[in-house]
Amino acid sequence: MRILVLGVGNILLTDEAIGVRIVEALEQRYILPDYVEILDGGTAGMELLGDMANRDHLIIADAIVSKKSAPGTMMILRDEEVPALFTNKISPHQLGLADVLSALRFTGEFPKKLTLVGVIPESLEPHIA
């Protein structure tokens, strides 16, 4: 089994750093099994292709924009809900992730399971979070 927990986000935009902060907390607070890899993906896009390919489960932590939910609300999306949601431009750097997921599908390396753990940010203003 190969699981990747990928935190993405921009640490220069206040709450947009939530994905990065989630994986930092996981690394600091928990000892995970060898088959679980934690990765700070920052704002990288296609550079993550190799890391995300052929996973049994890919879990992405990210800030997502929603006008229907209050800041701090956590949303969990699974499998086909994730790429479909990226068409609505919910994450400030989602274009890179959408491209990577499309490339993984095209090459036949799409993860068997895909989960997005999204948190609604309060602010995306420039500021080191």
The string of pLDDT tens digits covering residues 28-87 is 999 999 999 999 998 888 889 999 999 999 999 998 877 888 999 999 999 988 877 666
Secondary structure letter of residue 95 according to DSSP: H
5-41 pLDDT, tens digit per residue, is: 999 988 887 777 899 999 999 999 999 999 999 999 9
Return the pLDDT at 30: 96
Does residue 93 have a pLDDT over 80? no
Return the pLDDT at 76: 94
Match domain 3-119 to its CATH number in 3.40.50.300, 3.30.70.20, 3.40.309.10, 3.40.50.1450: 3.40.50.1450
Enter the pTM of the model. Answer: 0.87
Concatenated DSSP letters of 2-23: -EEEEEE--TTBGGGGHHHHHH
Cβ distance 92 to 124 under 8 Å?
yes
Q: Where are the domains of the chain?
A: 3-119
Return the pLDDT at 51: 95
93 is in an annotated binding site: yes
127 is in an annotated binding site: no
106-122 pLDDT, tens digit per residue, is: 999 999 999 999 998 87
User: Which has more confidence, 39 or 125?
Assistant: 39
Q: Quote the strand ranges of the chain, DSSP E.
A: 3-8, 36-42, 57-63, 74-78, 113-119
47 is in an annotated binding site: no
User: What count of residues does the chain have?
Assistant: 129
Structure-token pair, residue 71:
């800041």
φ, ψ for residue 47 (rounded to 5)? -60, -20
